[in-house]
Structure 1
Amino acid sequence: MIYRFIFTACLLFCAQVAAAMGPSNRDCIGQTPCVLGDRSYHVLPPDDWDGVSPLPVMLHFHGWQRQGTLIVQHQRISGATRRRGVLLVAPNGLGRSWDFWHAGTDDVDFARSVLDDVRKNYPIIEDQIFVSGYSWGSNMAWRFVCEDGADVAALLAISGTLRQTEDCTTAPREVRQVYGLNDQVLDYPYGPQGEEDYPVYLWREKFDCAEGVANGPWNARDFLTFQRIVWENCETGRVSLDIHPGGHFIPHGWIARQLDEILGLPNSYP
């Protein structure tokens, strides 16, 4: 009888401790936000994950007036990560926006705390942390790696940058940028003399890169062709710029192609 009493007491004590700690952020998946202080983020594991194998991570910042609920169901974003064994993490911006304009923004600290929280709940591959974003989310992704990107394997930026004169204290190991020449929301950032390769000038300078090399056209879908310039002869790092004739959107298959190349997977769509 005494043993039954002790066992029951232990169960009650454990339940009280668990309740005090709050729900695990591994229980929030997809549309259910993971609470982190007074803010939140969304997470989506890849298809067929066994629950224990370490995962690459892609932290993706949503565009203006969006939230992570869209990111985890967006076929050009989550459709790419789910099929490639990548854990997708989508933080929610205050007021559905991001503060990326100046150094020292609280959103950089928040994004770091999101990654730290993800580490507590998922086994991640530390040298395969990717940071991505679209539009204002791309600007925020630049801001994050500019200030706290020492452990970031690659920046995957879509239709958004920072000022190319920004003084970045850190950098990712690789930068991949895509931009549409007909972007009428965040105008294509041509250089002072009209240079088309200016959107990645900051990183080319920081990595001390030599002349870029045209890497030929490629496309994931027949209706949109990219022209790629690559800077691989750098003191550190690597930079690539994909230019297309379209406007302000996430191109079909672009994120998927970058992950395929970085992870050494066969190129596929979607």
Structure 2
Amino acid sequence: MKLLSILGALALIGNAGVISPANAHPCGLDAACSLDNRVYRAKAPENWDGVTPLPVLIHFHGWKRDSKHPLKNPKVLKAINGNSALLVAPEGLRRTWDFWERNNRDVPFVRAVIEDVAKRFPIDRSRIYATGFSYGSAMAWRVACDAGDLVAGILPAAGTLYRQDGIDCPTGPMNVMHVHGFKDNVMDLPLSPDGSPNVAVELWRRTNMCAQEPDHTETLNGHTCLTWSTCQSGKEVMLCLHERGHIVPKGWISNALKRALERYQLGEGAFSRADEPSAATDSTSQSN
């Protein structure tokens, strides 16, 4: 009996530094984390060992959705499980986001969320990315513009900041992969008077000190993407287009996150790879 007690004590000591994902982080679907009278949720990827630092995917929900939605979305779950990333889902007040102007309430909230997450999970701060749909996409843009020191890149879908020619980003250049549909009639794809979609990412082309026209095209998630990869800032801008409406194309989050993990780290520009990112085999689209 004494031997069993000693062995049990040694086992407890040996496991003291191991975090139990099931018990140590009550911020999932059933219980939100409270922070300054607001909430967010988080979900670790399947098969995480509880110790290895995790890259982070911040997902901003769409208008009138909440922080539960990303944690129930099969496309988002596939993205974090397939890329071994921690999902962090902040919740907007009144289920919306304050992205319209600088000095808003939500960018400081996002900073506070990441600091709180870092107390609960071992995270890789050099690999934090933001995505979102619709209003959530515009919120990802605002975070990238006003808190570019927080994220290594953004992967938004179907939503931009309006009046881009009047916006300056105080935290500088940002790696961007944006997807948008030509038939989006909710948050329209910005087009120039002659119908060019390049203006949809004008803010990032200008902020990243890129040429007027993209330097090449590549395939991501089955879509042809315009890419500015030789910008003076060392960052890159990618605009992927599809012929449908206000949706997140199937596979977008998984494939964009995979590419971001391969290419973007905080404080560094995009780096060239010997092989181009592989195209998704299934380019079917569906709403988020």
In the superposition, the TM-score normalised over structure 1's length comes to 0.84
SS in structure 2 of the partner of residue 151 of structure 1? coil
In structure 1, what is the equivalent of residue 254 of structure 2?
A: 256
Q: Which runs of 5+ in 2 are unaligned?
A: 1-22, 264-276, 283-288
Q: Which runs of 5+ in 1 are unaligned?
A: 1-23, 221-225
Letter in 2 for 1:83: G
- Cα displacement (A) at 1:26: 2.0
- Percent of aligned positions with the same letter in both sequences? 40
In structure 2, what is the equivalent of residue 201 of structure 1?
A: 202
Structure 1 residues 171 and 130: CA distance shift in structure 2, 3 A: farther
Letter in 1 for 2:189: Y
In structure 2, what is the equivalent of residue 146 of structure 1?
A: 145
Report which of the two has the higher share of strand: 1
Asked if the contact 1:184/1:247 (under 8 Å) is kept, the reply is: yes
Asked if the contact 1:149/1:171 (under 8 Å) is kept, the reply is: yes
In structure 1, distance between residues paired with 2:214 and 2:50: 42
Letter in 2 for 1:193: D
In structure 2, distance between residues paired with 1:262 and 1:108: 22
Match runs of 1:4-153 below 5 Å: 26-153=25-152
Residues 36-62 of structure 1: CA deviation (Å, up to 9, x unaligned): 121100101011000010000011110
In structure 2, what is the equivalent of residue 177 of structure 1?
A: 178
In structure 1, distance between residues paired with 2:30 and 2:226: 37
Residues 55-86 of structure 1: CA deviation (Å, up to 9, x unaligned): 00011110000011011111122221122101
Q: How many equivalent residue pairs? A: 242
In the superposition, the TM-score normalised over structure 2's length comes to 0.79
SS in structure 2 of the partner of residue 185 of structure 1? coil
In structure 2, what is the equivalent of residue 5 of structure 1?
A: none
In structure 2, distance between residues paired with 1:25 and 1:119: 13
In structure 2, distance between residues paired with 1:32 and 1:158: 27
Matched, 1:212 2:214: yes
In structure 1, what is the equivalent of residue 270 of structure 2?
A: none
In structure 2, what is the equivalent of residue 8 of structure 1?
A: none
Cα root mean square deviation, aligned: 2.0
Asked if the contact 2:221/2:255 (under 8 Å) is kept, the reply is: no
- Cα displacement (A) at 1:229: 0.4
In structure 1, what is the equivalent of residue 12 of structure 2?
A: none
